[in-house]
Structure 1
Amino acid sequence: MADRQSFPPPNQAAISARLEAFRADLLDKVTARDTDAVVATACPDIYLSHGGNGGPDELRANLDLDPESLTEDLRPQAEMLRESYWQSLQDTLAQPGYFDEDGEFWMPHQWRLSLPASLDPFETYFVTGENVTLRQAPSRAGIVLGLISYEVVIIKKYLDDKAYQLVRLTDGTQGYINSDYLWSMVGYRAALVKSETGEWQLCTFVTGD
C-alpha cells in the first residue's frame, strides 16, 4: 500500500441484462421512497445488521422508522434518520459492483478489497471518483496538491459536519478531499442474489465491520 494503488470500478453489472434491469427498477422504487415495493424485492432472510434478525419485516421497520421505536432522545431526529437510511440505500445501489464466487452481485465494488492488517478499517476510506482534487486547505480555494482516482486513504477523525476531510494517502501525503467522494470501508454495502426461480432479490444491506 505504501506505493499507492488505484482500483478503478469494473462494469460487471453489464454482464447480465436482467440484473441491470432489476437494479434500475429497484433504484426507481427507492428514489420514490416506496416502502411496499422495496420490501417486495427482499429475500425472505435479507441480512440487515450484525445483531438483528433480518427479514422483510426488519427492512420495513428500518424504512418506516416509527419514532416510538427510538429512545426518547432520538425521537426528534426520526425523520432525519429515516431519510438517511433511504439515501444510504439509494447511494449504495447506484455504486459500481462486482460478482463474487457465488454469483452474488455486491456494491460498492471496493468492498472486494482486502485491507492490510496495518490499516484500521474504521479509519480507512475509498475515493469514489476519478481525478478528485487533493487540496492543501479545506476549501475549493485550496491549492491543488494532486488528483486522486479510486484510492484507499486514511482519515484519523472523520468530521460529519465538514465538507472536506483531512486525509493521508498510503505514501504519507496529506491533504483535504471533498467528503462527497469518500466512502468508509466499513460503510454500507448491498448484495443482489438470484433466487432459485431465477429472480434477482435484495439480500443484504448492512454497515459495519
Structure 2
Amino acid sequence: MRTALLLAAFLCGPALADRQSFPPVDEADRDPSLVEFRETLLAKIAARDVDTIVALACPDIYLSHGGDGGPEELRANLVLDPQTLSEEYREDADAMREQYWTDLENTLSQPGYFDDEGEFWMPHQWQITLPASLDAHLAYFVTGQNVSLRQQPNRDAPLITRISHEVVILRDHQSSAEYQRVLLTDGTQGYMHSDFLWPMTGHRAAFVKSDAGGWQLCTFVSGD
C-alpha cells in the first residue's frame, strides 16, 4: 500500500502543509532468496553480462510507457546499437548506453518495499502517493540525511535548514546545475545540491516471484 503524502495545495501559497520525512527502510531482508537474487543481478550488471540479465527478466518485463517490453527490448536497451538511433543521436550512443546501465544499477541498489501483491519495488519512496493536484514532474525526493538547504547555490552560502528524506518541489529544474532551487512543503525555499534529489517520476524497478518460485526483474521504467 502506498503511503499518502498530505501536501495540500501548498503551491498556491506559503506554509500550507507540514513537512514530512520518509526514512528509507529496506524490506528485502524479509526474504533471503530476494536478497540473493538482487546481489546476483547487481553482480551481473557490474560485469555487463547482458545474456544473464536478460535471462533473469520476466517474459513481459515492463520497460517503457510506449514500447512493447519484453526481454528483447531489454537487450536492445543494454546493447544500444547506434544504428537503431536517429542520426542526430548516434554519436551519443555510448553515453546513453552507459547511462542506462548506471540507472539500472542505481535503482536496484536502493532500499525497497513489498506491495500488497508481494512484489518488491525500488526505490522505497515510490510508495509515496502524491496529491492528484500536484504535477508529479515537479516533485523530487531528498535521498540523504541532514542535507543542507542554503540561501544561495553554493556550499559556502548561509545554511537555512537541513533536510532528511522529504519530498520537495522544483519548479525550474536545471539539468546541468550543481545546485537546484527547491520549495519545501512548509513554504521554505532555498538551494540544495543536485546529487541528493531523485525525481518522483524517476526510475523504479520491481522484482516478482514466478510461479516456479524464482525471482525475476519485471519492471524497470521511468515517467509518471
Query: So what's the TM-score if we normalise by structure 1?
Result: 0.97
Which residue does 1:40 correspond to in 2?
Answer: 55
Choose 110-119 or 167-176, whichever is displaced more.
Answer: 110-119
* Cα deviation 1:8-44 (Å, max 9, x = unaligned): 1112111111111111111111122221121111001
Offset, 1:48: 0.3
State the aligned residue count. Answer: 209
2:143 and 2:196 in contact (8 A); partners too: yes
Q: Quick one: distance in 1 between partners of 2:46 and 2:159?
A: 35
Does residue 166 of the first structure (1) align with residue 172 of the second (2)? no
Which residue does 1:196 correspond to in 2?
Answer: 211
Which residue does 1:77 correspond to in 2?
Answer: 92
Percent identity between the aligned chains?
61
Q: Quick one: distance in 2 between partners of 1:45 and 1:23?
A: 19
Which residue does 2:191 correspond to in 1?
Answer: 176
Offset, 1:181: 0.9
Which residue does 2:81 correspond to in 1?
Answer: 66
Q: Quick one: distance in 1 between partners of 2:55 and 2:38?
A: 14
2:142 and 2:196 in contact (8 A); partners too: yes
Question: Matched residue of 1:53: which SS?
Answer: coil
Q: Quick one: distance in 1 between partners of 2:47 and 2:174?
A: 30
2:26 and 2:124 in contact (8 A); partners too: no
Candidates 103, 110, 115, aligned match of 1:95: 110
1:113-124 aligned at under 5 Å gives the runs: 113-124=128-139
Q: Quick one: distance in 2 between partners of 1:207 and 1:5?
A: 24
2:204 and 2:222 in contact (8 A); partners too: yes
2:140 and 2:170 in contact (8 A); partners too: yes
Candidates 122, 136, 158, aligned match of 1:107: 122
Offset, 1:176: 1.1
Candidates 132, 135, 152, aligned match of 2:167: 152
Partner amino acid, structure 1, of 2:97: R
Q: Which runs of 5+ in 2 are unaligned?
A: 1-6, 8-16
Which residue does 2:66 correspond to in 1?
Answer: 51
Partner amino acid, structure 2, of 1:66: D
Q: Which runs of 5+ in 1 are unaligned?
A: none
Q: Quick one: distance in 1 between partners of 2:50 and 2:196?
A: 28
Question: Matched residue of 2:125: which SS?
Answer: helix
Q: Quick one: distance in 2 between partners of 1:32 and 1:138?
A: 37
Partner amino acid, structure 2, of 1:194: K
Q: Which runs of 4+ in 1 moved over 3 A?
A: none
Q: Quick one: distance in 2 between partners of 1:156 and 1:144?
A: 21
